[in-house]
Amino acid sequence: MPRWVIFLLDLTICVIALLVAYFIRFDSTDLPFDQEFDIFKKGLPIYLLIRGASFFLFRSYKGIIRHTSAEDIKKIALSVTFGTIVIVIISFIKHEWWDSHYLFPSSIIMVEFFVCTFFLLVFRFIVKLMYTEDLKKEKDLVPTIIYGSGIYGVITKHTIEKEANLAGRVICFVDDNKKKAAKTLEGIKIIHSSQLDDFIKKSNAKKLIVAIKNPDKSKKRAVIDICLANDVEVLNVPSPTKWINGEFTLNQIKKVHIEDLLGRDSIELAPDRLANEYNYKTILVTGAAGSIGSEIVRQLTAYTPEKIIILDQAESPLYELEMELKEKGLLEMTESVIADIRNVERLRNVFKTLQPDLVFHAAAYKHVPLMENNPSEAIITNVLGSKNLVDLALEYEVEKFVLISTDKAVNPTNVMGCSKRIAEIYAQSANQLNKTKFITTRFGNVLGSNGSVIPLFKKQIANGGPVTVTDKRITRFFMTIPEACQLVLEAESMGNGGEIFVFDMGESVCIYDLAKKMIKLSGLELGKDIEIKITGLRPGEKLYEELLTNEENTQETHHPQILIARVRNYDFNEVSEKINELTQLFDSQNNIQIVKLMKDIVPEYVSNNSIYEKLDNQ
C-alpha cells in the first residue's frame, strides 16, 4: 500500500480518536455537546495540520504495517506525544493572545492523546495479526520447530512470519528448561526437549531452527541427533555479531555443520594468568601458517608480547596470515620469517638475531600415508627439524620450548607417528640438561584442519560422492582448533619441563557414523543420492587412536581436563647419538634401513597394514 494512503488513514484515525474523546467527555444528554461543535469545527483544521506535521516529522507512516516492530511503536508514541504538546501550546496561545478560547478543552486533549495512541497501535497490530494468520492458513508452509524459547527464539519466529519466502510455519518451541514445558509463547506451545522425538512423529515436522545464543553443546547434539533420525532438516540462527542493525534475515539462517555435533563445551582457561607468561616476551612459532600454528599466533596476539616470530616455509599461506593480522592492526607485533626447519644455519640466524624467549614448535609433516611412502622426509623434517630447534633452544637459552605432538605418537603403527615420538623423546631427554624447559602436548584430530577427514567428506559430498571411509570400525578423537591451541598455551604456562600433557578428549567418534551424519546434514539420502565406499585401511593406519601408551599413566593438574603423562626417562647423549645415526641414513634413501632404526629407537612401534610389518618379525 502506498505510504500516502497510510498517512491519510492515520489522520482519519486521529479524527475518530478526537470524536471519541468528545463522546467520552460529553457522554450525558444534559451536557452542551452542540455548543462545543463549533469549537470542534474551528479547531479541526489546526488539529489535522499539527497531527500531519508530527507524522511527517517522525516518519511514523513509513513503516510496513504488517511488519510493525518496536521501532515503529516508538515512532508512533513520539509523534503523538509531540503533536499533543504542540496542541496544548497552540491552545494556550489562542486562549491568552487570540480570542480567549482554547483550541479544545483540556480534558478533550488529554483523552484524545490516549485514545489516538491506542487506535494507531491497534490498527497496526490488527493488520499484522491478519497477515500472520493468513500465512498460517497456507497449506504449503513447512511445519517448523524452534529450539529455544528465549529472546532469540522469539526473534526467529518474528523473522519467519515477516519473510513469507521461507515457507515455514512455527508449530512449536522446544526448550531444555522443564519449567517452561506446557506453557505457550505468543500462542505457540513449548515442549521439553525430552518430548521432541514423539512430537516430531506426531506433527510431521520437517524443519528445526536452533535459536539459542550459547547452547549446551551436549544437549544441542542430542536434539540434532533426534532430528537426523527423523529426517528433519536442522538450521542455525547466526551469531548476533553477524546480525545487521540488530536483526537477521532468513537467508542468514544456515544449515548445521558437522562441527556442531562433534564440538564439546570449550575448556575455560584463565587468560589473566596466562598474560604473565606471554606479555613482553619474544615468541617463536614454527609452522605458523598451518592450522594449529596460525591459531596459536592469533591467541598470542590477545596478549602484549614483545614480538611474535611467525616462521614457515610456505610462502603463500604465511602471506595470507600476514594480511589477516594487518587487517586487525596486529602486524606490527609480528616478524615474518620464511625458513625451513631442516636448515639449521637459517634457524641459527633467526635465534641469534631475534633472541626468542619462548618457542612453540608446530611445524611437521602429518599425513600418515604420505610419510609411510617417504620415511626419509619424515625423519629429516619431523626428527632432524625438531632436533635443530631443540639444540638451538639450548644454545640460545630459550626459557621454554613447547613441542606440539599427536596421539599417533602413542604406540605408533606408522612412520609419521614414530617420527613424532622420536621428537618427543629427544625434547624430553634434553630437559635433563636443566637449561630450557621442554614441554610436549598431545591431542587428537582437530576439526577443520588442513587435510583432515571433515573437509575431505565435504568435498566428496559436494562432488556427488562417493564418500570414502577406510573401515566401518575406525574411530577418532576430535577437538576444535581454538581448544587445541588453548591447551598448548595452558601447557606452556603450567609446565616445569619434561612433561607430556594430554587432554581428556571425551568419547571417540566412529568415522562411518560421521560420514552418514554429514550426508544427512547436507540434505541427501544415503543409498539414494550418495554412497559410502569402504576402501580398506591405508598403510600404517590405526583403527583406534590412543593418548597414552600401556606403560604410561597420568597425574592430575589444576584443570580436570588436562593431565600429565608419566613416561620413562631417556639419556640425552644416547638419544642424540641414535638420531644422528638415523638422519645420516637420509642420503641413502634406504627406507627399510630407516624404518628399522626407527623401530630400534621406539620399541613399541609396530607397523600396521604396511610393507614394514616384516621388520617386526625379525
- Which residues participate in catalysis according to the annotation? 408
The grid coordinates listed for 402 are 613447547
| Cα separation, 340 vs 296, whole angstroms | 19
Helices (H) and strands (E) in the chain, counts: 21, 22
DSSP state of 381: I
Q: Which residues pair with 338 in a beta bridge?
A: 312
| Cα separation, 391 vs 198, whole angstroms | 63
Run of H or E residues at 14: helix 3-25
| Cα separation, 102 vs 237, whole angstroms | 56
How many other C-beta atoms lie within 10 A of the C-beta of residue 575? 19
Alpha-carbon distance values, 510 to 89, 414, 417, 472, 495 (Å): 76, 21, 21, 8, 33
Please report, as a single letter, which amino acid is at residue 451.
Answer: G
Alpha-carbon distance values, 276 to 185, 279, 358 (Å): 49, 6, 13
Half-sphere exposure of 567 (CA within 13 A, CB side): 26
The grid coordinates listed for 601 are 629407537
Strand, coil or helix: 610: coil
Q: How far is CA 171 from the centre of its chain?
A: 28
Query: Is-contact 203 171, C-beta < 8 A?
Result: yes
